Every structure is written in structure tokens, then in C-alpha cells.
Amino acid sequence: MSRFLLIIALLTLLASASSCRSRRGADVTCRENMREIFVLLRQSIPVEPNFPPSLNELARLTTNASLFICPSTREKPADMPNVEQWSDFIYVANLPDLATDKRLPVLISPPENHGGKYGYVVWLTGEVVRLPSSDIRKLIAEPWHLATDAPPREADQWKNKAQVRLPARFRKLYPNAYRAGSE
């Protein structure tokens, strides 16, 4: 009987280790996808130095719909022309390409994609960082929340332009997502 319990314990331990590895692998792929989307967003910046008003504009730059999925969600990609409706990522549109404080989020993978514990953000610099879910939620409501080094006038300009673009499945979860002119 004790041999049987030992085998069960070892199998449980192996399953747990495998689950941890797959979760870590999904996080790595999620961050890589976010970084690649950021590169596409930078490529799509027109003469006006602002990020585009919608992720849908990236449909002309890529056909890889899987980029817009965080693997841990197990969601399936859909039509690229409507990527903003089904993506696993929240996009902060109309931000300036250049800013004094680089801690402005361009793309957010919300906590719902990661078991509610944390999320990821791509800053204006292209750096992808993991943040606690409380900070992620604040960034969705006020994208400049952590950009404390910007002059007030510059922050006011962001507030007049920024729009947090929520995919359909996140809209009920984030009714306070920031939209310019909604203050």
C-alpha cells in the first residue's frame, strides 16, 4: 500500500512540475507575442507620431492571427480585420510615439489571461514587464497611472488623446476603461 501511495505522490509531483513548465511556456509566448505586436504597431505609425487608433490597422501588416492570442487563455484567433474584437490583449490607442516618461502602456495582457494574479504590459520603449493585477487594472482605467516623471502639460495631452481599446470579452470586466474626453 505504501508503494502505491509513493507512486501516486510521484505522479502528482510530475504532473505539477509539467503544469508549471507549460504555464511558464505560455507566459513566455504571451510576452513574445506582445513584443511582436509592438513592433508591428511601431511599423504602422504614420507621419503623425502617434500609435494607430485601432489594432485592426495591423491586418495589413500581418496575417498571423495567433500573435493576438495569449496561449494560457486557450482562445482561438478569428478574422484579422476584426482583431480588436477578439484579441487577448488590450490596446492603448493614440499615444505619442515619443514621451518624456516611458512608462505609458501600449499593450496590456490583463490578469484574466494569467489566472487573475498578474498581467503584462508593453511600455512605450517596447519593454515587456510583469505587474501585479492591481497595477494592471489601474493602468486600464488611467494609462498614465505609473508615468510619474512626465510634465503635467504632457500628461494632459495624453488624457486628451488616449483610448483604451477593449476586446469584447473584457468590456464588462472593465467598464471604467479610459477613453479621451470621458473624465
CA neighbours closer than 13 Å in the CB half-sphere of residue 134: 0
Write down the pLDDT at residue 98. Answer: 72
The dihedrals phi and psi of 124, each to the nearest 5 degrees, come to -55, -25
Contact between 36 and 26 under an 8 Å Cβ cutoff? The reply is no
Write down the pLDDT at residue 12. Answer: 56
96 CB neighbour count, 10 Å cutoff: 18
Residue of 39, 35, 76 whose CA lies nearest to 58: 39
Can you tell me the distance from the alpha carbon of 115 to that of 26, in angstroms, rounded to the nearest whole number?
12
Q: Among all chains, which residue has been given the C-alpha cell 497595477?
A: 135
pTM passes above 0.75: yes
The pLDDT-based confidence of 22 (bands split at 50, 70, 90) is low
Write down the pLDDT at residue 81. Answer: 92
Write down the pLDDT at residue 38. Answer: 93
* Top-confidence range, 45-49, 93-97, 99-103: 93-97
C-alpha cell at 74: 486557450
Write down the pLDDT at residue 23. Answer: 53
The pLDDT-based confidence of 20 (bands split at 50, 70, 90) is very low
Contact between 85 and 167 under an 8 Å Cβ cutoff? The reply is yes
Residue of 177, 174, 175, 147 whose CA lies nearest to 162: 177
